[in-house]
Chains A and B, each alone.
Chain A
Amino acid sequence: MPEVVIRKRTICVEEIFHEGGPVAEKPLRRAAAIAVIRNPFAGAYVASIEGFMEDLKPLGLAMARQLIAALGGDAKAVEGYGKGAIVGSAGELEHGALWHVPGGYAMREVLGGAKAIVASTKKVGGPGTRLDVPITHINASYVRSHFDSMEVGVNDAPRADEILLALVMTTGARVHARVGGLKASEIKGEDGLR
């Protein structure tokens, strides 16, 4: 199968102290890891692409570990996650879908078996395209305080024959979360939902 050729990786960390309300005791932190890779299927319709998911697994694991390091090095501090992909103009949306398995399972593995489905989004776009990566709680999708998202992008990517791959992790709830719903402290942890 094709080799994973990385042109660029970026990492972005945000630290949020307040948003007009009381200053948080512990600031919320969000981190995004991005890899810009060559799209081995660019320019033509390739029927069989599934094998590339396996090739992407080591990259997924490396990015997941990079995120934990950026958030302080303790996997237990991570409470939210999400993933996304931007496919350059010579590719198709389906190439972005190749990221679901290696991106999602890498984060779950590195986080020690997170239970919730990893929220995701994807699109086709030119260099500089921005992506709002959705974020939900790692163990229970319905934890309302952790519904969040982080905008990512790289000004010179993806080029036409590239894919931009993103993973995002956060350390907690929105900074002034107060719209009720399931709380992180109430998670049953059986089905990944509640």
Chain B
Amino acid sequence: MIAKIRKIATFVEETRREMERAISPPTRRAAAVAVIENPCAGRYVEDLSELMAIGEELGDLLTARAVAALGISGASAESYGKAAAVGENGELEHAAAILHPKLGTPVRRVLGKGTALIPSSKKRGGMGLVLDIPLGHKDAAFVRSHFDGMEVRINDAPRANEIMVAIAVTDSGRPLARVGGLTKDQIKGEDGLR
């Protein structure tokens, strides 16, 4: 591993009731979060290739952890998202280097498919900040029932010289989805959109 990981956290959320209605089967989401040292902290680094390589490692590791936390096969995952939080001595671009160039390929390898763009968000901040990981269907971005987001927070991260990297995976859409739009059984799966 190139990444120096201080901590990995996984979160699983299961919704069983919503508005006094039973959700059956329950909707479930998982997020895996790594807290790593930022090798570029404290100075302006032009070449961010080390962070891109870290992104590739974490794409594999965190997706596998999230899928394992749900207890499903990668192919059963329905939506996904990614996010990163850079500590105060880093720059937003460090999160971009981890998330965008190389992280997606191993995520898709673990899940077997994933033709849709992986929705993402990023920010810089102090310890205890909240990351809202956007979620979208992994094979068709327009599946409206799966537009969602998952909040994660680790009270002691990121420290000033750290980066928090998060990947979220679900096995379902929103609990009581009913605002129309493309449904998952209508997916053509050709362009990642519909």
A residues at B contact (CB < 8 Å):
19-21, 44-45, 47, 49-50, 53, 84, 92-94, 97-98, 100-101, 117, 119-123, 130-134, 136, 141-142, 144, 147-149, 151, 174-181, 191-193
Closest to A98 in B: B179
| 1/0 contact string of B68-82 vs chain A (CB within 8 Å) | 000000000000000
Range for the number of chain B residues in contact with chain A: 35 or more
| Bound CA span A177–B192, Å | 25
B99 touching A44, Cβ below 8 Å:
no
Taking a contact as CB atoms under 8 Å apart, the answer to whether B97 and A179 are in contact is yes
- Chain B residues lying within 8 Å of A133, measured Cβ to Cβ, are 121
Residue from the set A19, A44, A133, A149 with the largest chain B CB neighbour count within 10 Å: A149
Given known pairs A119-B119, A121-B121, A151-B123, the reply for A94 and B96 (CB within 8 Å) is no
- B153 smallest CB distance to A (angstroms): 11
Q: Is the CB of A191 within 8 A of B91?
A: no
Residues of A within 8 A of B176 (CB): 45, 92-94
Question: Does B12 belong to the interface (CB within 8 Å)?
Answer: no
In the complex where A92-B176, A134-B120 touch, is A117 in contact with B193 (Cβ < 8 A)?
yes
B122 within 8 A of A: yes
Give min CB distance, B121 to chain A, whole Å: 4
Q: Chain B residues near A93 (CB, 8 Å)? A: 18, 148, 174-176
19 contacts between A and B (CB under 8 A): A19-B91, A20-B43, A84-B149, A93-B175, A97-B147, A119-B119, A120-B147, A120-B149, A123-B132, A130-B132, A132-B83, A132-B123, A132-B131, A134-B120, A134-B134, A147-B122, A178-B48, A181-B101, A193-B192
Contact call B121/A149, Cβ cutoff below 8 A: yes
CB distance from B181 to the nearest CB of A (A): 7
Of residues 118 through 159 on chain B, the ones whose CB sits less than 8 Å from some CB of chain A are 119-123, 130-132, 134-135, 141-142, 144, 147-149, 151
Closest 9 CB pairs of A and B: A121-B149, A45-B19, A149-B121, A132-B132, A121-B134, A132-B121, A134-B121, A97-B179, A134-B134
CB–CB A180/B101 < 8 A: yes
Q: Is B14 part of the binding interface, using a Cβ–Cβ cutoff of 8 Å? A: no
A144-B44 contact, Cβ under 8 Å, with A92-B19, A92-B176: no
- In the assembled complex, how far is the CB of residue B128 from the closest CB belonging to chain A, in whole angstroms? 12
Question: Can you name the residue of chain A whose Cβ is closest to the Cβ of B18?
Answer: A92
Residues of chain A within 8 A of B179, CB atoms compared? 49-50, 53, 94, 97-98, 100-101
- Please pick, from A119, A120, A134, A178, the residue contacting B93 in the complex, using a CB distance under 8 A: A178
Complex alpha-carbon distance, A85 and B177, angstroms? 15
* Complex Cα–Cα for A116 and B152 (A): 27
Give the nearest-CB partner of B100 in chain A.
A144
Knowing A97-B144, A100-B181 touch, does A141 contact B191 (C-beta < 8 A)? no
Cα A60 to Cα B156 in complex, Å, equals: 38
A residues less than 8 Å from B131 (CB atoms) = 132
Does B111 touch A at the CB level, under 8 Å?
A: no
User: Which of B18, B91, B121, B148 makes the CB contact (< 8 A) with A122?
Assistant: B148
- Contact residues of B between 160 and 182, Cβ < 8 Å to A: 174-181
Residues in A with CB closer than 8 Å to B20 are: 45
Given contacts A147-B100, A178-B93, could you give 19 more A-B pairs where the C-beta distance is less than 8 Å? Answer: A19-B93, A45-B20, A47-B178, A93-B148, A93-B176, A101-B179, A101-B181, A117-B193, A120-B147, A121-B134, A123-B149, A130-B132, A131-B132, A141-B117, A147-B96, A147-B99, A149-B120, A175-B92, A176-B93
